[in-house]
Structure 1
Amino acid sequence: MTAQRTDGATQGARASRITSVDALRGFSLLGILLVNIAFLASGFRMAGMAEPAFQSTLDWGVRWSVTLLLENKFYLLFSFLFGYSFTLQLDSAVRRRMPFTPMFLRRVAGLFLIGIAHAVLLFPGDILTTYAGVGLALLLLRKLSPKNAIMLAVVLTSLLALGFVFLAGLAALGLDTAGTVSHGVAEAIKSDRSLAGSAGQIVSEHLRKLSLIVLLRLLFQGPAVLAAALIGLAVGKLGLLRDPSAHTKALRRLQWVGFTVGLGGAAVYTMSAWTGTVHKFLGEALDLVTAPLLAAAYAATFLRLLPHMPRLAGLLAAPGRMALSNYLGQSLICGLIFTGYGMALVDRVSPPSEVLIALGIFTAQVTYSRLWLRGHRYGPVEWVLRYLTYWNRPGRTLEAAPAPQAAQP
């Protein structure tokens, strides 16, 4: 994304704003990895079940903690930033006097193709294709006022929650509403065997899972991502992230409401996922309403703390500037660890070890990103996407680049 227009007197605030947004994006990447690694490491988790080989108190403590605190929160935060970045791209096109629509259509087409390759080769849980679709929706809705964008987000979220309540009602009537990825232990074992096999077997298994979850993505994840992106669109139009310190009162209110209501909803969702004391669809319905509040509380807390932790801001901003490259890199590294592409450790690593591996991967990405950005303006995949967007070859190095710009989403 490109930086918004500022005058000389506000260059310090501009730099701070860009760093804070990039750092927030890096923080989101860490949360996404801590959630995704369990699904990348296990056919059982992809099927919505706990790995039978790991049943210790510590294993269950990690599962509960990740579900309670992270699951369904950080992809919403990342989706919010996607919508926010969209407003910066609009602003950039106006300043450059460039036609925005064809440029953005090339961008979402590139994002879709990258997402398809990612889903087929590495992770059927890919979200880039969803972002491509949401990008088209944002293009159509770009003239919405901030108020109307927020109202539409609320309506979408409410309808999704009602959809899950409806599914819970069907289940109560005895109708089959089984999961869409697999149907029990036998299928999870079959998935594990395929993931530990040859490249052809891995791709075939990914295609099988994609055929099962595509409808779920269209009906549920897509609207949820769009709702979060619409909030980002509203925030971008209002310029609320230009100087977070000017909105301390609002951020504090988000923390109180978000942590109180959000953690309550997350607790019910976690029980629905792991104990069955609450129907899973009712848990999903409540989580759809409360997870955005908890994600907002995380963002508010992060933005309030960041000015007091400049070193952390610098560390997280680097992977945030290369978010697309790092997101794909996480799947690649996990593929080499857990599937037949490499060590084939699928369902052989405990949940606590998965968390340690995730932290190790992210630490390596922080280091790599900082080194890469010393001599390059864009991450490797960001460079490709920018080429597709502007249909010309961007400068690879800092020396070849024009005036500084903020990172792409």
Structure 2
Amino acid sequence: MKGVSVTTNSRLVRLDALRGFALFGILAVNVWAFATGYYVSGIADPARDPVIQWIVSMFFETKFYLLFSFLFGYSFTLQADSAARAGAAFWPRMLRRHAGLMAIGSAHAVLLFHGDILTTYAVLGLVLLTLRGISPRRAVWLAVSLLVVSGVLWTLLGVLDVFTHTPIDATEVSARVAETVTAYQGTPETVVAEHLRRLPETLQLVVFVQAPSAMAMFLLGFAAGKRQVLAEPRRYRALWSWLLRAGAPIGLTGAAFYAYVVVNHPGSGTETLAMGVSILTAPLLTGAYVAALLRLFDTRVAEVFAPAGRVALSNYILQSVVLGVVFTAYGLGLVGRLSYGAIAGVVIGVYAIQLVVSALWLRSHRYGPLERLLRTVTTGTWPTAVRR
């Protein structure tokens, strides 16, 4: 019995540490949607720093939401174990949980960040719920098939787009960028109105780009959870070694191509091709990140990131709250006014504070505020928040 307790604790620490580290990557990408109206506009920001933009595109974009998705799928197996231990019906429990995620995500998308991922997770989680009887092997094959089909389709579409692409009207796009900046600098009402205006285009991106990859990573995480990969990572040394020796070079090559195109040819037909290449290769780089981090987390470094990961939902929303206060009419309204270097400084500063505050919070609390709320919706009981 003692061994089971240790194994479970080790599994949770590694999972939380990975989730805590993923928060940094999510913040490093999401900040640009707040800080500049040019993000994913199709034209380059005249005030950009190409080096910082290249670093973000190379190492963060299209990688860290995949890591979060993998961890979501892994946590799904832990939710199933928790329901079994409690003797609770799993379907009703998970339906309530995903309804709670949908409510939190919808409020987040409208009030703070139109690029919210929680609503996508709430919907795709229901798909995973229907597939929960699938074997780990079949889950892996289905995940790989999703990634390959989606990536190949986008790559072929990109090749076609290279030869048939209609140039973007830079004047029209610049006018839309100015409207976004004006709305973010206006009032809280104009901020919300801008989020609502941009939700349809965001939905297209989610459905056709993010959703297939996120679902694939759900399945890989689900298979890993069934095999308790994070509980006993040493049993899978061959996998981690392959990801570092083969997955990392392939992933980095695809990431370099993606970053080069995004930085130097935004809005071109080649950017569509780069997206297809990224869909095919980014999961390998994400896997290499996991392999490297698991080696690092064999040390006390895991204790630095794990507290933030334990309250990841609260931290994810808190990031948007802080960025909203800094860059929009909810506070300082600095959108379009900070240099790229200063924005990078905001990312590092906010994340460092979250690491410290998360550790301090968990000294006296069992859950984060939103974790406690979601747990209440899931289980139908109001858990004790304060540690004794």
TM-score normalised according to structure 1 size: 0.90
1:355-374 correspondence runs (5 A): 355-374=344-363
Alpha carbons 1:108, 1:132 under 8 Å: kept: yes
Letter in 1 for 2:112: L
Which residue pairs with 2:305 in the alignment? 316
**1:341 counterpart = 2:330:** yes
Which residue pairs with 2:37 in the alignment? 43
**1:269 counterpart = 2:263:** no
- Measured after TM superposition, the shift of residue 15 of structure 1 is 2.2
Which residue pairs with 2:25 in the alignment? 31
Which SS does the other structure have where 1:189 is aligned?
A: helix
- Measured after TM superposition, the shift of residue 369 of structure 1 is 0.9
String of CA shifts for 1:32-59, please: whole Å, max 9, x gaps.
11111112211111424432123xxxx2
String of CA shifts for 1:323-366, please: whole Å, max 9, x gaps.
00000000000000000111100011122211111111011111
Which residue pairs with 1:332 in the alignment? 321
Which residue pairs with 1:71 in the alignment? 61
- Measured after TM superposition, the shift of residue 265 of structure 1 is 0.5
**1:111 counterpart = 2:101:** yes
Letter in 2 for 1:40: F
1:299 aligned to which of 270, 290, 303: 290
- Measured after TM superposition, the shift of residue 166 of structure 1 is 4.1
1:199 aligned to which of 188, 191, 194: 188
Letter in 1 for 2:66: L
Which residue pairs with 1:244 in the alignment? 233
String of CA shifts for 1:247-274, please: whole Å, max 9, x gaps.
2232121111221100000011112212
**1:208 counterpart = 2:197:** yes
Letter in 1 for 2:190: Q
Q: 1:74 to 1:234 in 2, by over 3 A?
A: same
Alpha carbons 1:386, 1:394 under 8 Å: kept: yes
- Count of residues in correspondence between the two structures: 385
Which residue pairs with 1:3 in the alignment? none
**1:390 counterpart = 2:379:** yes
In 1, Cα distance between the equivalents of 2:191 and 2:291? 40
TM-score normalised according to structure 2 size: 0.95
**1:229 counterpart = 2:218:** yes
Which SS does the other structure have where 1:279 is aligned?
A: helix
String of CA shifts for 1:209-263, please: whole Å, max 9, x gaps.
0022212312221111111110000111111111223322321211112211000
1:19 aligned to which of 13, 23, 26: 13
Which residue pairs with 1:407 in the alignment? none
Which residue pairs with 1:60 in the alignment? 50
Gaps of 5+ in 2: none
String of CA shifts for 1:108-135, please: whole Å, max 9, x gaps.
0110110010011110011000100111
Identical counterparts, % of pairs: 42
Alpha carbons 1:47, 1:183 under 8 Å: kept: no
In 2, Cα distance between the equivalents of 1:31 and 1:361? 12
Alpha carbons 1:47, 1:188 under 8 Å: kept: yes
1:151-230 correspondence runs (5 A): 151-172=141-162, 174=164, 184-230=173-219
String of CA shifts for 1:353-394, please: whole Å, max 9, x gaps.
111111110111111111111111110011111111111211
Alpha carbons 1:248, 1:304 under 8 Å: kept: no
- Measured after TM superposition, the shift of residue 175 of structure 1 is 6.1
Q: CA RMSD in A?
A: 1.8
Which residue pairs with 1:81 in the alignment? 71
Gaps of 5+ in 1: 1-6, 400-409
In 2, Cα distance between the equivalents of 1:364 and 1:74? 20
Alpha carbons 1:44, 1:189 under 8 Å: kept: no
In 1, Cα distance between the equivalents of 2:44 and 2:380? 46
In 2, Cα distance between the equivalents of 1:188 and 1:346? 11
2:275 aligned to which of 268, 284, 287: 284
- Measured after TM superposition, the shift of residue 76 of structure 1 is 0.2
- Measured after TM superposition, the shift of residue 183 of structure 1 is 5.6
Which SS does the other structure have where 1:45 is aligned?
A: coil
Alpha carbons 1:170, 1:177 under 8 Å: kept: no
In 1, Cα distance between the equivalents of 2:165 and 2:244? 40
Of 70-79 and 270-279, more deviation after overlay is shown by 270-279
Alpha carbons 1:245, 1:304 under 8 Å: kept: no
- Measured after TM superposition, the shift of residue 184 of structure 1 is 1.6
In 2, Cα distance between the equivalents of 1:149 and 1:313? 28
Q: 1:131 to 1:283 in 2, by over 3 A?
A: same
Q: 1:250 to 1:175 in 2, by over 3 A?
A: closer
Which SS does the other structure have where 1:241 is aligned?
A: coil
Letter in 2 for 1:137: V
Q: 1:183 to 1:153 in 2, by over 3 A?
A: farther
- Measured after TM superposition, the shift of residue 315 of structure 1 is 1.6
String of CA shifts for 1:47-100, please: whole Å, max 9, x gaps.
24432123xxxx211110110011111110010000000011111112222100
Which SS does the other structure have where 1:120 is aligned?
A: helix
- Measured after TM superposition, the shift of residue 177 of structure 1 is 9.5
Alpha carbons 1:252, 1:300 under 8 Å: kept: yes
Of 81-90 and 349-358, more deviation after overlay is shown by 349-358
In 2, Cα distance between the equivalents of 1:386 and 1:12? 24
Letter in 2 for 1:35: V
